[in-house]
Structure 1
Amino acid sequence: MTTINAALAHALHLLRQDMLGYLDAVEFLTSEDDTDDDTVLAVARTEVPRLVAALRGTVTAHRADHHGLCLGCPATWIDGRLGREAWPCPTIERAQRFLKDPDSIYSATPYARL
């Protein structure tokens, strides 16, 4: 199994933190009781289309090929052979679950909702 070097691991950590920070900011600005309606509307108008595009891009990339395998997932070793996940892959299954039950993300991750 290939391991990543410390610089790449740090870069990936920063990318993850940047994305989570963005989501935290959007959530905070649209859910706080003391945030005025104009702010909520402005944030929703600019950020909801970005969030929809991000999710749409993920769903579009993770689609089935003519064998029923996910084109968005990288090939990995499965039962001693190089192969891809069957569609719907875990990425699509999680996205669907979180769309239907948004609060389930907090029980599925190691951090609590702030």
Structure 2
Amino acid sequence: MNWNRLTDVAQLEEIKEESHQHPVLLFKHSTRCSISATTLRRLERDWNEQEVGNLKPYYLDLIAYRPISNKIAEEFDVWHESPQAILIRNGESVFDASHYDVTFDAIKEQVAS
């Protein structure tokens, strides 16, 4: 799995634009949380690019970049949680999940719909 790092709040506008061409996944990860670490490892282990097509995954270390995490909650109208996966399509959040509900199968299902 090749993560794209989310390190600048300005990237959110680019992600919104990009999501009009293909779906985008934002994964918010807390480096201080064992549930987040487990969820990240499971997602990376199960990831299969052929099954999600052109979905582009972004990784946010929300401890290092908390202002970006806050802006994501505001911009995409999602409650902040960690770990959290948010699927962006056409500039809007169309799916979000947190904790152990973040699974490759759940993401794959949403990408296919």
- TM-score w.r.t. the length of structure 2 is 0.26
Higher helix share: 1
Task: Looking at secondary structure, tell me which structure has more strand per residue.
Answer: 2
* TM-score, normalisation: structure 1: 0.26
Higher-RCO chain (CA-CA 8 Å, sequence separation at least 6) = 2
> For the pair shown, which has the larger CA radius of gyration, 1 or 2?
1
